[in-house]
Amino acid sequence: VPEPETPLAERPREDVERLLSVDDALARVLAMVAPLPVASLPLLDASGLVLAEDIVAPEDVPPFRNSAMDGFAVRAKDTAEARFDRPLTLRVHGTAAAGSTTRLAVAPGCAIRIMTGAPLPDGADAVVRFEETDEGRLNGPGVVGVLRSARPGDNVREAGEDIFRGTAVLPAGRALRAADLGQLAALGFTTAPVHRRPRVAILSTGDEVVEPGAPLPFGKIRDANATTLAALARGWGAETVALGIARDRLPELTERLTNAADADLIVTSGGVSLGDYDVVKDALRQSGEIAVWQVRMKPGKPLALGRVGGVPLLGLPGNPVAAAVSFVVFGRPAIRRLLGHADLQPRSVEATLIEPLDNRGMRRHYVRALLEPGADGGWTARPAGAQGAGVLSSLSRANALLVLPESIEQAEPGMTFRAILLDANA
Ligand code: AMP
Ligand code: MG
């Protein structure tokens, strides 16, 4: 058993007794972070990242007037007399293929065979689809029989009909989705100005914690948190840096934290409770600004906040569900702010409880829950299994965190609560 670095009697406890509401704790977390600097990233690397500037179209999309169908380019008024039972014949004066760079023209009484995406010949103002012609079958390939009159504009895509040059296409603050990136590509952009992706360094602590692939001697447990927390952070759009597992000793902890100098956020798990070997808080106290709080929530009461070498640090509890839930509640908004999102709220729905739940202690209780579609078009919620702070299997089973407010000691069937959706947030 390791000796704590500092004799127990000398270890300050006063700051770990500070009580904080979830909302106040979140405000303190958010005060530590700001949107990251802007970088010009290749479009595919910018996927999911937040645009830092308004984008104005530098050119028209499509760039030229073209055919929306395979058919014949015509002058609409030439086809006024065309009927299904009385085909109107036009002489075919060539073919316009997509990608062709020659400018063609349609003379009166003539048509040009045209493919989807080919430039519309000068003089033409409509395209008659193959299906509305005889495709040259009645009078030979040089003559087409038109079976229906065309109106100007039929099957024609105008230059700029999708995006006009000079219009605002994507606003700053927009999280770039696939179609946004495609639009930027269509406009000729190869990069996008976005807030760069946050680097989140993740450290596990505890003499009992070993790597998942290592032998498991008596008294040890495998590190679940590093994987859960990294997967969460990546799902929210961050890169992760693995700092490994630190023993419950100050020098090793501080040593590992020095590897986080270029991170945007350090996330630790364990070592922030009131136990004898909970040294994260001591380490942080040594390296400067740090506070340890007792947050009025369940699971996940202890929370450390501070900076190490200027990098913001979020110290989560060690129990796997407490760590994961605290990370959803505090880490996700912090990472979203670093990413440049304005909306930091989790996606949630209202759900009706169908089993009683007790909330003794009156903390904000994040209940691992199963949401199911209800009869009235809403959602029903019930616990997804045992709610112990270490029981990761019920978090794995849950599709939501049902939020019982601090003001409720006993929740009854029929009451409705907010439920944080885990598919989008965890
Ligand atoms: P602590 O907050 O360090 O006292 O840890 C609380 C509980 O969480 C203890 O039972 C630890 O063994 C457990 N724990 C801490 N870190 C991890 C981890 N990385 N993976 C799984 N369990 C952990
Ligand atoms: Mg520990």
Question: Is 208 touching ligand 1 by the criterion CB < 6 Å?
Answer: yes
| pLDDT digits 0-9 by tens, 182-230 | 999 999 999 999 999 999 999 999 999 999 999 999 999 999 999 999 9
* Confidence category of residue 6, pLDDT binned at 50, 70, 90: very low
Question: Is 87 touching ligand 1 by the criterion CB < 6 Å?
Answer: no
Contact 207, 271 (CB under 8 A): no
Question: Is 331 touching ligand 1 by the criterion CB < 6 Å?
Answer: no
Range 129-135 average pLDDT:
96
233: pLDDT strictly greater than 70: yes
Question: Is 318 touching ligand 1 by the criterion CB < 6 Å?
Answer: yes
Q: Locate tokens 């603050």: which residue? A: 173
* Cα(290) to centroid(ligand 2), Å: 18
323: pLDDT strictly greater than 90: yes
358: pLDDT strictly greater than 80: yes
Q: Which residue among 211, 269, 294, 396 is best mutated to probe the pocket of ligand 1, counting the most ligand atoms within 8 A of its Cβ?
A: 269
pLDDT of 287: 67
pLDDT of 424: 77
159: pLDDT strictly greater than 90: yes
* Confidence category of residue 394, pLDDT binned at 50, 70, 90: very high
Question: Is 149 touching ligand 1 by the criterion CB < 6 Å?
Answer: no
* Confidence category of residue 1, pLDDT binned at 50, 70, 90: very low
Q: Which residue among 202, 209, 314, 391 is best mutated to probe the pocket of ligand 1, counting the most ligand atoms within 8 A of its Cβ?
A: 209
pLDDT of 272: 87
Range 140-162 average pLDDT:
96
360: pLDDT strictly greater than 80: yes
* Cα(24) to centroid(ligand 2), Å: 25
375: pLDDT strictly greater than 70: yes
* Confidence category of residue 39, pLDDT binned at 50, 70, 90: very high
* Cα(101) to centroid(ligand 1), Å: 67
SS (H, E, C) 27-62: HHHHHCCCCCCEEEEEHHHHCCCEECCCEECCCCEC
- Residues of the chain with pLDDT > 90, as a percent, come to 84
| pLDDT digits 0-9 by tens, 250-273 | 888 889 998 999 999 999 999 988
* Cα(206) to centroid(ligand 1), Å: 7
Range 405-409 average pLDDT:
94
pLDDT of 292: 86
Question: Is 244 touching ligand 1 by the criterion CB < 6 Å?
Answer: no
Question: Is 158 touching ligand 1 by the criterion CB < 6 Å?
Answer: no
Question: Is 269 touching ligand 1 by the criterion CB < 6 Å?
Answer: yes
Range 116-126 average pLDDT:
98
| pLDDT digits 0-9 by tens, 64-115 | 999 999 999 999 999 999 999 999 999 999 999 999 999 999 999 999 999 9
Question: Is 240 touching ligand 1 by the criterion CB < 6 Å?
Answer: no
Q: Locate tokens 């109106």: which residue? A: 151
Q: Where are the beta strands (DSSP E) in 228-374?
A: 239-246, 265-269, 290-295, 297-298, 302-308, 311-316, 348-353, 357-358, 364-373
Range 139-165 average pLDDT:
96
pLDDT of 48: 97
50: pLDDT strictly greater than 80: yes
Nearest ligand for residue 321 CA: 1
Ligand 1 atom having least distance to the Cα of 271: 3
Tokens representing residue 60 in the block: 């028209």
pLDDT of 345: 95
| pLDDT digits 0-9 by tens, 262-319 | 999 999 999 988 776 777 777 767 766 778 889 999 999 999 999 988 999 999 999 9
pLDDT of 12: 46
148: pLDDT strictly greater than 90: yes
Write out the H or E segment, with its range, that includes residue 186: helix 178-186
Write out the H or E segment, with its range, that includes residue 321: helix 320-326
Mean pLDDT of the chain: 93
